[in-house]
Every structure is written in structure tokens, then in C-alpha cells.
Amino acid sequence: MDITSIIGLALGMAAVFGGAVLEGLPLSAIVQPTAFIIVFGGMLGAILLQSPQVDLVNAVKDLPIIFMGVKEKPGEVSELIVNMALKARKEGILALQAEIGSIEDPFLKKGLELMTDGTDPQLLRELLETELSHYEESVTHASKVWEGCGAYAPTVGIIGAVLGLIHVMQNLNDPSKLGGGIAVAFVATVYGVAGANLLFIPLGGKLKGNRRQTIMTRAMMLEGILSIQAGESPSFISEKLKVFMHGHDGGHKKDPGPEA
């Protein structure tokens, strides 16, 4: 559970719209179905026209990790790899085939399969590095879908506002409609700017931030798989993997790997 995502979304909405209510603005004043259709329909159209289908699918498929958090725990992965290195040393690399079935992460699974299949070390490194860099690229493109929503929402909101103002201008002879009409026009602006800043742009950022951890963990898996294949000592591997787990200075004391 990524608690800051949930708090962030709730807090942003509550502060902005709760603040408006506190100030005396009835919520009904900012509920405007046509403004909603214009802003989010237009935004959806723009992003569908812009993004290749594969990016759209990835953007939606990655949404859960924003609120559920990243599954990979670098500490556990490191421990798992060091344990496999121990087993490979004692019983040979083929002994690892029995363990592959229980591994969930598709990248680690594939890497181990290729390794136990006897793939040439040079080719194995190339395959896994290309795979990882394609993955990085696909994450970038998925988060660009959300950032694209964040870019289109305010500009389509401006279209909605100007269309509203055109409407108002046509009724200038009836001054009683003036204020209300302009208010309606402003709601499209609020929808666009709030949608972008309280939802879409932060979503894109979090997606990239969370995936950064996945990418770091996979880089660790890559290093670990190649080290097992090279027959390096488990304690040496453990030392090498630690470097992927450090935070910002203070992290040096909580190495989860075994000091075998």
C-alpha cells in the first residue's frame, strides 16, 4: 500500500474543494456536466490520438502500483540471489531449475531460465540489458501518457472557458445572465487545471518514481544472475548487490544480505 499516494490524492482534493466550501462557495457551483464533457472528453480524445496503443495499455496497467506500491523488495531479492549463489556453488547451476517455478518476477525468472539453459555469458548480459532498457523505455512512455493528460487538461480547459465566454458575450443584452455565465466558463478552467495538477501530472511522476525502484531492483537481478553464472563467491555477490540498496547516506547499517 503506497500510503502517501492515497493521502496525497485525498488531501489535494479536500484542501482545494473543502477550502472553496469553507469560503462559502456551494459545491453545486462547480458541478457542471457540460464543462466536464468538454474538458475530459477533449483531453481523452487528444491523448488517444497521440499515444500508440501499447503505451495506453501500459499506462492503465501500471495504475495499481501507484496506490498499491512496488512489489519488489530489494532486500529480499538480494537475499534470494545470495541463497541461490550458495546453492549453485554446492549443487551446481542446474540445481536452480527447481527454484525457478516459484519465482514471480518475470525478469528474474527469464534471466534464471536463460542461465540454466546454458546461455553464453556475453549473450546473456546483452539479452538482459536490452530487455531492461526496453522496459525502462516502456515505463517512460507509459508515464508520458499521464503527463500528456496533465498537459492537455488545462489547454482544453481554456478552450472550454473561451467557448463559455463566447456564449456569455452573445447574451450581453441580458445582464442578469452575465455573472452566472462567466462562472460556468470558469468551471472549465478549474476542471482542467485541477485535473492536471492534483491528479494527472502527479500520477505520471509517481509512476516514474515507483518504476525507478523496479528498474534498480532489476539491475540488481541482472548483476546477481551474471555473478552466479560466473561462479563468484556468495559473500562477494552480497557485497556487490549492497550498492543497489542504499538510500541517502544513512542506509549503510541495514544490509539485509547474509554475510556468508
133 to 152, contacts with its own copies by CB under 8 A? Answer: 134-135, 138-139, 141-142, 148, 152
Residue with smaller CB distance to its own copies, 93 or 205: 205
Residue with smaller CB distance to its own copies, 95 or 219: 219
Tell me if 23 contacts its own copies by CB under 8 A.
yes
C-alpha distances in Å from residue 70, one per residue of 63, 122, 214: 11, 30, 7
Tell me if 48 contacts its own copies by CB under 8 A.
yes
Tell me if 77 contacts its own copies by CB under 8 A.
no
**Shortest distance, CB of residue 258 to its own copies, whole angstroms?**
17
Tell me if 122 contacts its own copies by CB under 8 A.
no
Residue with smaller CB distance to its own copies, 95 or 163: 163
**Shortest distance, CB of residue 2 to its own copies, whole angstroms?**
8
Tell me if 115 contacts its own copies by CB under 8 A.
no
Among 87, 89, 167, 260, contact with its own copies (rule: CB under 8 A): 167
- For residue 65 the three cell numbers come to 502500483
Using the rule CB under 8 A, give the single segment among 77-85, 92-100, 179-187 that binds its own copies: 179-187
Cell 474543494 belongs to residue: 17
CA-CA distance, 82 to 98, in Å (whole number)? 16
CA-CA distance, 146 to 141, in Å (whole number)? 9
- Picking from 25, 6, 3, the residue whose alpha carbon sits closest to that of residue 16 is 25
**Shortest distance, CB of residue 13 to its own copies, whole angstroms?**
7
CA-CA distance, 96 to 41, in Å (whole number)? 52
Count of residues near its own copies by CB under 8 A = 114
CA-CA distance, 246 to 182, in Å (whole number)? 54
Among 115, 190, 226, 228, contact with its own copies (rule: CB under 8 A): 190
Tell me if 162 contacts its own copies by CB under 8 A.
yes
Helices (H), 30-120: 33-36, 42-50, 53-61, 63-68, 74-91, 97-100, 106-116
Cα 49 to chain center, whole Å?
A: 22
Asked if residues 6 and 64 have their Cβ atoms less than 8 Å apart, the reply is no
Tell me if 123 contacts its own copies by CB under 8 A.
yes
197 to 236, contacts with its own copies by CB under 8 A? Answer: 197-199, 201-203, 205-206, 209-210, 212-213
